[in-house]
Structure 1
Amino acid sequence: MKHDCHYHPGDAAKWHCGECQVHYCTRCMPDADNRKRHALCPRCSRAMRYLGAATEVVPFWNRLGAFFRYPFHTDPLIVIAICTLVPLLVKPNIVGIVITLVLALALLKYTYDVIRHTAEGHMKPPPVSAAFTGGGFDIVFLQLLVFVLMGGLVGAAAMIGGGLLMMLALAFVILALPASIMVLAMERSVGAAVNPMNLAVLISRIGSPYFLLYGYLILLTLASGAAQDFAVNHFPLWFSQPLAGFLNSTFTLILFHMLGYLLFQYQEELGFASDLQDGDEPGEVQHRDRSARFDADIDMNLKDGNYDRVQSMLKEALKKDPQNPQRLGQLFQLLSARNDTADLYRYHPRLLGWLAARNDGDSVATLLNSLENVEPGFRLDDPELAVLCARTLYQRGHYKAVLKLLQDFHKRFPDSQELAPAYLLVAQALANGLNQWEKATAFLNFIQKRCSNHPLHEQIDAYRNQAENREPLKGPKASFVVQE
């Protein structure tokens, strides 16, 4: 059964908590260890079951093209070439027969490695070395033993129940043959591969897709036979023989790759878990980013409606990192959605600084209105923050809010270096936004008289000339003339 994430419907689940009966996707579990297949449930802190790629793998009937491309990767082509062409080049003596048998064993070993390799999530073929090195050659003899035992099963059925029972046993053996090959490739056990109950359970767990795959395998077998027959009948022997061998090996790899993929697709039903490898999915150990874990907890608690808990989590995080922009943004969104004016007031210096840094003048205006409701006549105590917010408001066209925010600035902060920038913003809001040129000129005159030591003092004449001519207050024009 395929499962979606409880918190992100549409995203495939990767983890399942048996205690809470909740499925989680990778977004919910950024700190999980996929390689060790270990993760703790965010709710109960108990170890969870890893589902691997079972819930997100593409059904095999949707990737038939990939199956037919599989043998044409470099590694399988080299294996097929060696195992097909070399026997044609050796002499038909004892040494040649031995070489031919060894290469046949290597090719069969490689095909069984394909099943296991695919079932483990590798969509690229095994390397060439898998065919010629290491153990595993016994798989060929195990498969021969399986065939002998299956033949014995059919013979025993004929002896016990006559022709009818023999036909039923033969039908079951033929039907269960792909399942037997899959079991043998994964477990390397003859007993498991010939156990009728074991094979019946495997087929029942996969369900109808097993019979669909069986149909594809029959078609592949018929296509392989037809292609080889065509090669033998239409080409000379020196060409048709290697071509027929190549076609036989190619179709065999396709068939075994499909069997491995069926195991991979139904891994959850079959009781194991594996992930896509070879770059299709990150198989490396993920970085344990605590902030990602925190964000996932925030997301899940919000979707569960635990707003008080989320608010407490964000407050605790801001105690450790008071100016963290991500946490300030999350807190602002939560407090605004809950209309929590008390905490908006408590955190307003940091929230206003964060909004101004983002040039979000509309939100600054909204927050200032909320603060006004909490404290009528509210004014900022920080002159730098006041000017920063006023500049943000001005850029978004909130001219009256600029005037209100900077009202009596010279009385509240008489010695501040922000006095000249503050009243220049007031003059620009009056002139450019409200067309009150006389009042704008008055503030410019105030800056000229009061702020003689400020760098803006030199530009005030240019601003005054613009005000007299009813031009937008933009300051002196840039000049690129180099004085000699």
Structure 2
Amino acid sequence: MKNDCHYHPLEPAKWVCGECLIHYCSGCMPDADPRRQHGLCPHCGRTLRYLGAATEAEPFWQRLSAFFRYPFHRDPLMVVAFCTLVPVFLGQGILGWITYVVLALVLFKYTYAVIRHTAEGHMKPPPVNAAWSGDGFAIGIQQMVVFIAMVLLVGFAMAVLGPIPGLVVGALVVLALPASIMVLAMENSVFSALNPLNLTALITAIGWPYFLLYGFLVLMTMASGAAQDFAVSHLDPVIAQPLTGFLNSTYMLILFHMLGYLLFQYQQELGFASDYQDDDTQADPQRDRSRRIDADIDMNLKEGNYDRVAGILEESLKRDPANPNRLEQLYRLALARNDRQSLARHHSKLLRWMVALRRHREMKALLTLLRQQDPDFQVADPELAVASADLLFLQHEPKPALQLLRDFHKRFPDSDQIAPAYLLVARILANGFEQWDKAGSFLRFAAKHTSDPVLTETINHYLERGRRQEPLKAPRASFAPRHE
């Protein structure tokens, strides 16, 4: 049975908790390990069961073009070319026949590697060394034993039961042949591949799509046979022999890839789990931790556990106080809940985030909410107050900027930000409200609270412009050498 994610109904489930009976997609379980098929339920902490790609694998009949392209990748083409061309040059002698048998075993080994590779979630062919390296050559002999046993069974049925019952047995054997190949690929056992109970169980688990696949295979076998017969009948043997070998080898690769994909598609019914492997990359642990938090927030929001979401965000901000994503999530959650106490408690972090990202609209809204709760609210950090006021002023919000700097010298009598604060107040009064006299008073007050020559020069420049009632703009940069 195919299941969708409990929290994201449009996404296929990849994990299920046997205790909570909740299905999760990959987005809900970013910290789970599909390779080791290990993950813990976010709710109860128990080990999840991995579903693999069973819920998202598209039906095999929608991938026919991909099946026919499969043999024409580099690695299978190399195997096919070698197994096809070498016998041509060796002739029909004893050496040629021995080589032919060895290459047939090599081809069988590679095609069975294709089944396993595909069933494990690899939609790209296995490397060429899968045909040569390691063990596994016995699989070709095992397959030949299976074929011989099936032929003997049909012959025995015809001799003992008669022609018609024998034909019925032969039809059933041919129908079970794809299932036998799949069982042999997964079990590596001749007995398992010939056991009627195993074959019946596999066919029953897959259901009607097995018979649809069987129909495709019959059509492909007829087409391949007709093409090979045409080549033998109408072409020179020098061309016909390698061409028929090529057609036979590519047909086998297509057939075994389709069988492997059928195992992959119906993995849940067959009792194993695998996922698409070709595009997997090693996950960054830090990124996974962040995604785990995002997933927990998303799930708790969907369940209405807003207090839990707030707790997750506050814990995260203890570890990373300047994380912009968490700060924005905290701000949005507090706004949605009208949680002004949370906004007041975290206002310093939120304002720093807004200053860093130039979020002046959010800043104005936050300050408005905080002053509705506490009319006397002021920012407790002098540098943050100046930076916030500067952002608001630059974004044409002079009134809230002035509010941030009200009585600055009384609130922070020992701060080195007094001069920059009142320089900004003067600019707001002059440029925003054309109050030149008040602007001049603040400039002279700022001059008394700084010994910085650059700041003093800027203040004098502003005083001169204020006397002429010109907007207070910074002096133009000059690269000319100064004369002492």
With structure 1 as the length reference, what TM-score do the two structures score?
A: 0.90
Residue in 2 that maps onto 1:270: 270
Give the letter aligned to residue 296 of structure 1.
Answer: A
Say if 2:76 and 2:128, in contact at 8 Å, map to a contact too: yes
Residue in 2 that maps onto 1:287: 285
Which secondary structure does the structure 1 equivalent of 2:43 belong to?
coil
Greater displacement, 252-261 / 132-141? 132-141
Say if 1:15 and 1:49, in contact at 8 Å, map to a contact too: yes
Residue in 2 that maps onto 1:340: 339
Give 1:173-184 correspondences, 5 Å limit: 173-184=173-184
Residue in 2 that maps onto 1:382: 381
Say if 1:80 and 1:246, in contact at 8 Å, map to a contact too: yes
Report the Cα offset of residue 467 of structure 1.
Answer: 3.8
Give the letter aligned to residue 390 of structure 2.
Answer: R
Residue in 2 that maps onto 1:478: 477
Greater displacement, 331-340 / 158-167? 158-167
Say if 1:431 and 1:437, in contact at 8 Å, map to a contact too: yes
**Mapped partners of 1:374, 1:467: distance in 2:** 38
Matched, 1:23 2:23: yes
Give the letter aligned to residue 237 of structure 1.
Answer: P
Residue in 2 that maps onto 1:198: 198
Report the Cα offset of residue 153 of structure 1.
Answer: 4.8
Give the letter aligned to residue 394 of structure 1.
Answer: F
Instruction: Give per-residue Cα distances to partners, 1:194-239, cap 9 Å, x unaligned.
Output: 3334323322332333233223222322222232233233432111
Matched, 1:111 2:102: no
**Mapped partners of 2:280, 2:372: distance in 1:** 52
Which secondary structure does the structure 2 equivalent of 1:37 belong to?
coil
Report the Cα offset of residue 401 of structure 1.
Answer: 0.4
**Mapped partners of 1:66, 1:335: distance in 2:** 50
Give the letter aligned to residue 381 of structure 1.
Answer: A
Residue in 2 that maps onto 1:403: 402
**Mapped partners of 2:133, 2:411: distance in 1:** 84
Say if 2:38 and 2:50, in contact at 8 Å, map to a contact too: yes
Give 1:336-375 correspondences, 5 Å limit: 336-375=335-374
**Mapped partners of 1:234, 1:93: distance in 2:** 25
Residue 248 to residue 428, structure 1, CA distance change in 2 (3 Å): same
**Mapped partners of 1:106, 1:450: distance in 2:** 89
Give 1:231-242 correspondences, 5 Å limit: 231-242=231-242
Which secondary structure does the structure 1 equivalent of 2:285 belong to?
coil
**Mapped partners of 2:185, 2:414: distance in 1:** 84
**Mapped partners of 1:481, 1:111: distance in 2:** 79
Give the letter aligned to residue 31 of structure 2.
Answer: D
Report the Cα offset of residue 317 of structure 1.
Answer: 3.5
Residue in 2 that maps onto 1:120: 120
Matched, 1:425 2:424: yes
**Mapped partners of 1:474, 1:57: distance in 2:** 64
**Mapped partners of 1:444, 1:155: distance in 2:** 110
Q: Percent identity?
A: 59
Aligned length: 482
Residue 285 to residue 188, structure 1, CA distance change in 2 (3 Å): farther
Which secondary structure does the structure 1 equivalent of 2:47 belong to?
coil
With structure 2 as the length reference, what TM-score do the two structures score?
A: 0.90
Residue in 2 that maps onto 1:310: 309
**Mapped partners of 1:126, 1:317: distance in 2:** 43
Say if 2:386 and 2:417, in contact at 8 Å, map to a contact too: yes
**Mapped partners of 2:277, 2:380: distance in 1:** 58
Residue in 1 that maps onto 2:13: 13
**Mapped partners of 1:472, 1:199: distance in 2:** 90
Greater displacement, 158-167 / 402-411? 158-167
Say if 1:420 and 1:454, in contact at 8 Å, map to a contact too: no
Say if 1:39 and 1:47, in contact at 8 Å, map to a contact too: yes
Residue 347 to residue 133, structure 1, CA distance change in 2 (3 Å): closer
Report the Cα offset of residue 302 of structure 1.
Answer: 2.0
Say if 1:33 and 1:286, in contact at 8 Å, map to a contact too: no
**Mapped partners of 2:161, 2:479: distance in 1:** 107
Report the Cα offset of residue 260 of structure 1.
Answer: 0.9
Give the letter aligned to residue 147 of structure 2.
Answer: F
Instruction: Give per-residue Cα distances to partners, 1:225-281, cap 9 Å, x unaligned.
Output: 232233233432111211111111112111111111111122122111112223x22
Report the Cα offset of residue 303 of structure 1.
Answer: 1.9
Give the letter aligned to residue 361 of structure 2.
Answer: D
Greater displacement, 69-78 / 441-450? 441-450
**Mapped partners of 1:383, 1:285: distance in 2:** 42
Structure 2, unmatched stretches of 5+, are: none
**Mapped partners of 1:307, 1:39: distance in 2:** 25
Say if 2:418 and 2:449, in contact at 8 Å, map to a contact too: no
Give the letter aligned to residue 119 of structure 2.
Answer: A
Residue in 2 that maps onto 1:78: 78
Which secondary structure does the structure 1 equivalent of 2:308 belong to?
helix
Report the Cα offset of residue 400 of structure 1.
Answer: 0.6
Report the Cα offset of residue 366 of structure 1.
Answer: 1.5
Give 1:133-282 correspondences, 5 Å limit: 133-154=133-154, 165-278=165-278, 280-282=279-281
**Mapped partners of 1:85, 1:453: distance in 2:** 86
**Mapped partners of 2:80, 2:323: distance in 1:** 59
Say if 2:420 and 2:446, in contact at 8 Å, map to a contact too: no
Instruction: Give per-residue Cα distances to partners, 1:119-140, cap 9 Å, x unaligned.
Output: 1122222233322343323323
Report the Cα offset of residue 477 of structure 1.
Answer: 1.2
Say if 1:35 and 1:285, in contact at 8 Å, map to a contact too: no
Instruction: Give per-residue Cα distances to partners, 1:299-323, cap 9 Å, x unaligned.
Output: 2222221111222233334444444
Residue 258 to residue 393, structure 1, CA distance change in 2 (3 Å): same
Say if 2:57 and 2:265, in contact at 8 Å, map to a contact too: yes
Which secondary structure does the structure 1 equivalent of 2:16 belong to?
strand
Say if 1:115 and 1:260, in contact at 8 Å, map to a contact too: yes
Residue 285 to residue 146, structure 1, CA distance change in 2 (3 Å): farther
Report the Cα offset of residue 387 of structure 1.
Answer: 0.7
Report the Cα offset of residue 71 of structure 1.
Answer: 1.5
Report the Cα offset of residue 49 of structure 1.
Answer: 1.0
Instruction: Give per-residue Cα distances to partners, 1:401-424, cap 9 Å, x unaligned.
Output: 011111122332334221222122
Give the letter aligned to residue 434 of structure 1.
Answer: F
Which secondary structure does the structure 2 equivalent of 1:11 belong to?
coil
Matched, 1:444 2:443: yes
**Mapped partners of 2:221, 2:313: distance in 1:** 62
Give the letter aligned to residue 4 of structure 1.
Answer: D
Say if 1:33 and 1:285, in contact at 8 Å, map to a contact too: no
Residue 78 to residue 316, structure 1, CA distance change in 2 (3 Å): closer
Greater displacement, 79-88 / 229-238? 229-238
Report the Cα offset of residue 15 of structure 1.
Answer: 1.3
Structure 1, unmatched stretches of 5+, are: none
Matched, 1:62 2:88: no
**Mapped partners of 1:290, 1:49: distance in 2:** 21
